[in-house]
Structures are given as C-alpha cells and as structure tokens.
Amino acid sequence: MPAGLRADDLLAEAAAGDPAIEARVRLIATHRLEGNAELLAADVADLEARDQARRDAGLPPTGLADDARYLAAGLETTRDAQRGALQAALRAHPDPLVRRLAEHELEVDEAATADRLLADDRHNRRAAVLNDAVRPLGIFSGGALLAALNPFLLAGSAADSLISTAVNLWHYDRLSAPEREALARYRTLLEREPHTRDAPEIAHAIRRLGTKRAAALCKDTLELAQKALDTDDLDHAAFYAHAADRIDGCADAAARPLARVNEARARRASREEAGRWPIDDPKQPTSADELSDYQSLLVATALADPGAMIEAASRFRERHDESPFAPSALYVVAVARDLAGHREAGRTALAELAGDHGSSAGRHAAAVLASADYSALDAIREAERRHARDTARYVLLGGRLDGRNALYTAGQFGAEGAQAAESFGIFNLLGVLTRAWTAWRHDPVSNQAIIERGEAFLARAPHAPDAPAVHARLADAYERAGNYEHALLHYRATPDPDPKRVEQLEGKMADKLLADAERGSGNPVLLSGIVRHFGATAAADKARKRLRERQPDGETVIALEVLQANPSLLAAFDLDPKLLDGDHDNGELADAGVTLSPGQMRLTLYNTGQAGQHIETRSLTAGAYERARAAAEEALYARLLTAARRDSESGRFERYIPFFLQGSLDDGGVYVYPAVKTRRYQTDDPKLYE
C-alpha cells in the first residue's frame, strides 16, 4: 500500500459516517491488499456515486474517493496506465495529501526526472554563455565612467567578452553530469518498460546522449593514453589506446596514438634486447696505478668499512681527478659518510655529485636525493615547500594566472595608466587581504602529499630518530586540513607537547564534533561525549546547553502554526476553541503550542492582562493520550507531506525572478553586472555521474 494511506486512517474517517461507507472502506483495503484492480475500480465508482448523491442531497462528500483513486492507480501494470490514472486523480482536485503523493509519483518517474535534468542543463548552459559575455562589461566606478570613451578600456572589455563567449561556445555541447544521469535513467526505463508510448522519444534521446557519451569517453581515454605516453608508461598507454580503438566512432581518432604506442613499444623492446648484451667499448682505467687504486676502492666498498671506503675514495680522487671513475669514487664517499652516521655530510656529497648529469653515478645520485626512500623527512619538507608555494600563489594571484585576467588587466592599464594598478583584479590589496584571511582560516591547498609521506614513514620506521619531527609535521598538516583528531594524536606523540597547543587542538576538535552533533535534531550521544571528554572547552558549554534544551524522548510537540492549520486538533485535545481566536486576554496559545507526553499535556499560553507566557499542565488518561497523540501524528505527517518543497538556500520569491545582480566593491570602484540564475544540479549519487 502506498506510503501515507493506511487502512486504519480510512476506517477512522469512515467510522464517523454511515455503516455502508465503513463496509466499503473495508472492501477497498481488502481489494488493494489482494491486488484486484477490477474490484478496486468498482469501489472507486461506488464512492464517486455516493459522493454525487450526497452533493445532490446538499451533504458534503465522503472525501474518500480521492484516496481510492490513488490506491487504484498503484495497481496499474504499465507505466502509461499508472501515469494516466495519477493524472486523472489530480484532475479531480483531491485533498492536499493525496495531491502531494500523486505529484510525487509523477515526479519520480525516470523519464520525467531525465527530462527535467536535460531542461535544467540546457538552461544552465545558456545562462553560462550569457553571464560570461555580460560580466566584463559590468564595471561602474568613477574612473571607469570618465574613461567610458577610452578605446583601451572598451577594447579590453569587449575582447574579454568575446573570448569568454568563444570558450563557452566551444565547450557548449560537452557531455555534462546531468546528461550522464539522464542517459542512465532513460536506459533504465526503456529496459523496464520497452513498450511505453514515450519509447520513440526516449530511444532518440538515448541515441543522442549515447553519441555524446561515446565522444566524451573517446576523448578522455585518448587523453589518458597521451598522459601515459608522456610519462613513458607504455603498458598503460597501450591499454588506453586499444580501449579507445574499441569505442564506437573512435577508431580514426585512436589510430595515431595507437601507432605511436606501437612504435614506442618497439623501441623499448629494442632497448631491452640491446641491454641484454654487454656494451662494445666499456670504460677502462688509463694506467696501472688507476687500475690498482680502483681495485682497492672496490674491495673497501665490498667490505662496507666506512673508514677504508673514505680513505680509498679520497686517494683515488686525489690521484685520478680526471678519471671517468671519479664520480663513482665521490658516490662511495657519500655512502661511507652515511654508513658512519654522518647523514648531512653524506647528503652534501650526494648533492655535489647530483650536479654531474653526464655520468651514470651523478644521475643515480640525483635519483636517490629525489626519492622519498632516502630521507622521508626531506620528502616531507619538499611537500611542505610545494604547499607553501601553492598557498602563496593563491593569496597573491587568486589561483592561476590565465589569459583572460591578463587581457583585462592590460585593458585597464591602457585606460587608466599606472593608477589602474590599484584595481588590478590579480594584485589589488583588498583581494590579497581577503584571500590571506581565507587561507588563514581554511587552508585552500591540499595537505595530502605531506600526510601520505609522513604516514608512510611512520608505518615503516615508527621508532626512527626522525619520528618525533615527522609527528610534529603531521600534526601541523592535519590541523591545516581540519582533521583535528589526527592532529591531536600526532602532536601528543611528540617528545614535549605544549599543554596550550593541546588545549587549542582539543577546542577545535570539540567544535567540529559539536557541529556534527547539531545536524538534524542533535545527537545526544555525541553531545554527551563532548561534555565528558572535552569538558573544559567552549563547545562543551554549548553541548550542555543543547542537552538541557533537548526535547525528552516520547514527547510530541504541536506548534501553534500546526494547530492553526488543523483546528480540529483542539477537539481531539479537548481544548477550548477560544485558544485560537487571536485574543491574548483570554489565554491565547503561544508559538510553542502544545506538548504531549505520557500522562500529561503542556500548553504554552500568553499571560492574561500582562506581557509574557506561562506553561499550563493538564493530566491525561491513557486513552485520551493515545487519541491525542494519534491525531497529532496524523496532522504532523500530513503537514510534512504537503509542505512546499523549496531549497533552503533560495528565497520565497526567487523562482519568480530569473535574474540577479552580482559584483564587488574595492578601491577601484563598484563592479556590478546582471546575470541569469542557474538551476542547481542535485542527485543522490553525484560521484556516479562525474
């Protein structure tokens, strides 16, 4: 039986009427549970006839025909028949609950959802083209108004608009996430209902979207093949190239990358074959002394004696500085210093050798220095330096410097000269300060590289001498990333953690847990955990307040607006109708309304003759409580189903106004431009359609 319509609800309504109606309702419930569409149709006809007879007699209709039509629609075996029955039920102007349920069934249809997705996607594409075309022209400031006739400013704005429009038109027909979801929904519907009357239109849409999807898949696969080729990953390149070749309509585009892959694999096979044989002219010592010293160096290295290695390598470098084996001797020096525990000295020797790109020892030293396996702490430092550079770039430039920003900046500079530097979009002081504040509060750059290298080091060597430093760096990285529990864990693992820093991290962690706990109606377990484990933080004080204000389990709150929308609840609660007459002098109900709990009912009333409110408690018998609670739950349920669905971020009249104004204020003036509102894409599984 569809949600929202229960047999006991229908019987409760019928109990107030004559026995014949109650008997018919019992038959409706029985036929619906049996799935007998023919008998249920007869029940609908009987109720319609009864309603017409009651209207002719001047009586109100039973109000049950709408429910019966909705139940009968659920027994239709095909999509088309069910949609027709639901639309017929809506044409009969049903009560709000049945209307909401019927509209929902029509809206969740796969084809209807796909049609809506495509319509919103077309609207958003057109809005993006128009908004980017208008944006560069929306500049209003004193300097700009005086320079309105300046050809440089006008040319820069017009060129920016044209370039933006050209880029958007170039990407206009690119496959989007809504189109991917629409394609999946169309295919699902056609597999389930191949004979629906919308099948020709759905098949046409599937072919059109399938062609776009194949083109997008071809392009993405070839890009992956090219990326693998650029990194000399020939196995993956071959996999992607062959995969692209098998995509419909992609064979021609994949021919050239596939040929390049085959050529590269042939060259690799040739190199591997050549590598199996010794080179023709290996390097040889030029004298007997060089040969003797090099043999001594090899013996010392094989024995792994740091002192003997350094002595032999130093002697070889002093006597044979021009020898082709001199870089190898320097590499032995670096290894010996590292074996002797002088890691920094060994790193210095490796760095000196890494500058010699002409020798194999130099290239190997460069590879060792660049490897995270040589020094995890160095790898973490390098990741931190990269993170700092990216953060500075964001603060100073607001992201990457693209051609559009450069072109517009040049137009402003030509229009206003050096004074334009104050209002450059990429260097204005206000923008830098704003981005600096944002970067200080929320790190705009990912810390994942630092975290991965640090965790990998600790997994391999948790008790290494550098482990405390790695813990400290991981604590900073996790804190910047907003993962305060891991930051606290690693900071406590450092040798001498500062209590003030620990308290600060605990406070941030408690704030985050409090935000998680306050979602929805509030998680009492999480709130209690904050109070128990972080009792000294400000978040713990807020959690204690939330726990005190939290509605006890088993209570049902009926607000004033619910009572005003359902005045019949006053009779179910055995309350005086004067409580809703709008006169505060006779004890009007306040906004908090009525609270039901086992054995009692609390009323929040305005004070009579003075300001303020008070709570009045009335006792309830078990039977009265059950009746009142059932009526309240039914009213709350109907209100939930029939409530207008609107995005929480949109205003009440937003759907009637398709345009909005957007801009900014800085030292250069006011930057304002109109734009068309876009429709937000919402789906249950966004990752599935990316």
The span from the CA of 606 to the CA of 120, in Å, is 48
The span from the CA of 394 to the CA of 443, in Å, is 10
Q: What is the SS3 assignment for 203?
A: helix
Can you say whether the dihedral through the CA atoms of 574, 578, 582, 587 is positive or negative? Answer: negative
The span from the CA of 428 to the CA of 416, in Å, is 15
As a whole number, mean pLDDT of residues 5-33 equals 66
The span from the CA of 684 to the CA of 663, in Å, is 32
Taking each helix axis as running N to C, give the angle between helix 484-492 and helix 467-480, from 0 to 180 degrees, rounded to the nearest 10.
Answer: 160
| Long-range Cβ pairs for the range 336-342 (8 Å, 24+) | 336/306, 336/307, 336/309, 336/310, 337/306, 337/310, 339/304, 339/306, 339/309, 340/306, 340/307, 340/310
Bridge partners of 596, per DSSP, are: 556, 601
* Helix ranges restricted to H, 92-150: 96-107, 110-134, 142-146
Q: What percent of the chain has pLDDT over 90?
A: 2
Which residue, chain included where needed, has tokens 């929308």?
565
Take residue 495 and report the two structure tokens written for it: 């040798």
Closest CA to 44 of 23, 64, 19: 64
Bridge partners of 605, per DSSP, are: 589, 614
Position 391 scores a pLDDT of 83
Which residue, chain included where needed, has tokens 């039509």?
69
Instruction: Specify the range with the lowest mean pLDDT, choosing from 45-54, 305-314, 642-651.
Output: 642-651
Q: What angle do CA 611, 617, 623 make, to 5 degrees?
A: 145
The span from the CA of 386 to the CA of 382, in Å, is 6
Contacts of 242 (CB under 8 A, 6+ apart): 258
Indicate if the pLDDT at residue 275 is higher than 60. yes
Take residue 588 and report the two structure tokens written for it: 């009007």
Closest CA to 118 of 203, 182, 66: 182
pLDDT tens readout for residues 359-415: 888 888 888 877 766 766 777 887 888 888 888 887 777 655 455 555 555 555 554
Phi-psi region of 599 (alpha: psi -120 to 50; beta: other; left: phi over 0): left
As a whole number, mean pLDDT of residues 128-150 equals 61
Amino acid at the residue 554: G
Contacts of 103 (CB under 8 A, 6+ apart): 90
The span from the CA of 244 to the CA of 256, in Å, is 11
Average of per-residue pLDDT values in the chain: 79
pTM above 0.85, yes or no: no
Provide the 8-state DSSP code for 569. Answer: H
Take residue 138 and report the two structure tokens written for it: 């929306």
Amino acid at the residue 526: L
Which residue, chain included where needed, has tokens 């074959």?
273
184, 219 in Cβ contact below 8 A? no
The span from the CA of 675 to the CA of 663, in Å, is 10
Take residue 378 and report the two structure tokens written for it: 């160095």
As a whole number, mean pLDDT of residues 142-158 equals 53
Taking each helix axis as running N to C, give the angle between helix 151-170 and helix 110-134, from 0 to 180 degrees, rounded to the nearest 10.
Answer: 160
Take residue 570 and report the two structure tokens written for it: 């006053």
Provide the 8-state DSSP code for 331. Answer: H
Position 466 scores a pLDDT of 81
Backbone angles phi, psi at 368, to 5 degrees: -65, -45
253, 244 in Cβ contact below 8 A? yes
pLDDT tens readout for residues 11-23: 455 444 567 777 8
pLDDT tens readout for residues 545-586: 887 776 666 678 888 888 888 888 888 888 888 888 777 777
Indicate if the pLDDT at residue 303 is higher than 60. yes
Indicate if the pLDDT at residue 155 is higher than 80. no
Indicate if the pLDDT at residue 667 is higher than 50. no
568, 589 in Cβ contact below 8 A? no
pLDDT tens readout for residues 168-208: 787 777 888 888 888 888 888 888 888 888 888 888 888 88
Q: What is the SS3 assignment for 523?
A: coil
Provide the 8-state DSSP code for 104. Answer: H
Q: What angle do CA 157, 162, 165 make, to 5 degrees?
A: 125
The span from the CA of 679 to the CA of 116, in Å, is 11
Q: What is the SS3 assignment for 662?
A: strand
Backbone angles phi, psi at 558, to 5 degrees: -115, 105
Length of the chain: 690
User: Cα dist. 608→338, 561, 604, 605, 618 in Å?
Assistant: 89, 21, 12, 9, 18
Q: How far is CA 369 from the centre of its chain?
A: 37
Position 216 scores a pLDDT of 86
The span from the CA of 474 to the CA of 467, in Å, is 10
- First-to-last CA distance in the chain? 36
Take residue 304 and report the two structure tokens written for it: 């792994």
Take residue 431 and report the two structure tokens written for it: 């923008």
The span from the CA of 663 to the CA of 543, in Å, is 39
DSSP, residue by residue, 282-303: ----SSHHHHHHHHHHHHHHHH
User: Cα dist. 500→468, 491, 497, 510 in Å?
Assistant: 19, 12, 9, 15
pLDDT tens readout for residues 585-628: 777 888 888 888 888 888 888 888 777 888 888 888 888 888 88
Bridge partners of 153, per DSSP, are: none
**What is the radius of gyration, based on Cα positions, of the chain?**
38
Indicate if the pLDDT at residue 244 is higher than 80. yes
Take residue 522 and report the two structure tokens written for it: 């509030």
643, 637 in Cβ contact below 8 A? no
Bridge partners of 669, per DSSP, are: 666
